[in-house]
Structure 1
Amino acid sequence: MQHASRFTFRVAAPHDAIAIRAIEFEAGQRFVSVGMTGIADAPPMELELVKRKIDAREIVVAVDADGACVGFVMFEPQPARFYVQELDVLTSHAGQRIGAALIEQVAQRARAQQVMQLVLSTFREVPWNAPYYRRLGFHDIDEADLDAALIARRHAHIARGLDESRRVFMRRDLA
């Protein structure tokens, strides 16, 4: 089995856009196994959105020895934190610490800008969602502690049809 050290991590380039969308779509198929077919059926992100995020240098990809993208993390720098928008790794490469290494890439970028917090929103019960992020040092944010920006994001999720009752916001403080 390969481990994350066998992969390289770099800011996504324009030629990675198609692979990023394919990884997102393939990773979404895992949700069929937990009865969440709506996510599996959803189309990948619009190509224009992916290109905008690449231009903004807000996607990091994991690349194997052959130069193929096997995972990515997409994030949004905010004044007091970096918001992790999406983390996907090809199912064929699961369990190799690639996701953990991608999160660490975001953490390094945050620290470099003196930003000491990562935040994300994920499904509470899906094994590779909240339980996985807890193993990476994230903690649930209590409803009462959600700020205006996170509440706005929750409303946007609801508008997109996500079941927010099954989701949780999480944060990881960076030392």
Structure 2
Amino acid sequence: MLREIETAAGAAFREIGMHEIADDEPPTTAELAAFQTDGRAWVAVGATDRPVGYLLASLVDGDAHIDQVSVHPDHARQGLGRALIEVVVGWARGRGLPGVTLTSFTRVPWNAPYYERLGFHVLPDEQLTSGLRAIRDEESARGLDSWPRVTMRRVVTDLPR
């Protein structure tokens, strides 16, 4: 079901001319299972107790990193994405991690502008860690840098970086 959510959520990119993103293949079942097994996958369910959104996270250079967050369009604008992100912020805080990072498109309203409203800020390129640079390089190799893209971070603890 998570693959179906990803495909449905990706369709919004088609409406703004980002067809390649809309057509991007969702994570495989094996990839999703690896996140689940490691305790780094969270799912939001609807009234019928069926998944309607999900978030996948990794650990990157001492921070939590949001690999993917998607909500089915039938359940969008209900605070589910925000709730999933807050769960991961709490997960990071509980583990003493100083922040949460992610990568995002700058000109997509439900991407960077949305994350800024949730307390994330853009990291200048010179502040990217080696792990974040590797993620950006992989994204660039997949063609994601065809549109303006940034790395963002939200501080979640007062621990030194």
Asked if the contact 1:116–1:173 (Cα under 8 Å) also holds between the matched residues in 2, the reply is yes
Asked if the contact 2:60–2:131 (Cα under 8 Å) also holds between the matched residues in 1, the reply is no
2:2 matches 1:20 = yes
Could you tell me which of 84, 108, 129 is aligned with 2:111?
Answer: 129
**Number of residue pairs matched by the alignment:** 157
TM-score by structure 1 length? 0.85
Q: Within 1, Cα distance between the matches of 2:28 and 2:141?
A: 17
Deviation at residue 79 of structure 1 after TM alignment: 4.8
Asked if the contact 1:157–1:164 (Cα under 8 Å) also holds between the matched residues in 2, the reply is no
Asked if the contact 1:59–1:74 (Cα under 8 Å) also holds between the matched residues in 2, the reply is yes
User: After TM superposition, what 4+ stretches of structure 1 lie above 4 angstroms from structure 2?
Assistant: none
Read off the aligned partner of 1:143 and give its amino acid letter. D
2:142 matches 1:160 = yes
Q: List alignment gaps of at least 5 residues for structure 2.
A: none
Q: Within 1, Cα distance between the matches of 2:10 and 2:17?
A: 12
| Residue matched to 1:4 | none
Asked if the contact 1:73–1:86 (Cα under 8 Å) also holds between the matched residues in 2, the reply is yes
Deviation at residue 156 of structure 1 after TM alignment: 0.9
| Residue matched to 1:73 | 55
Asked if the contact 2:89–2:100 (Cα under 8 Å) also holds between the matched residues in 1, the reply is yes
Q: Within 2, Cα distance between the matches of 1:107 and 1:172?
A: 9
Instruction: Please give the per-residue CA displacement for 1:49-68, whole angstroms capped at 9, x wherever unaligned.
Output: 11111111111000123111
Q: Kindly report which structure 2 residues correspond to 1:1-175, keeping only aligned pairs within 5 A, or say none.
A: 19-163=1-145, 166-175=148-157
Asked if the contact 1:154–1:164 (Cα under 8 Å) also holds between the matched residues in 2, the reply is no
Read off the aligned partner of 2:59 and give its amino acid letter. P
Q: Within 1, Cα distance between the matches of 2:51 and 2:32?
A: 14
Q: List alignment gaps of at least 5 residues for structure 1.
A: 1-18
Q: Within 2, Cα distance between the matches of 1:51 and 1:37?
A: 27
The two structures, once aligned, show a CA RMSD in angstroms of 1.3
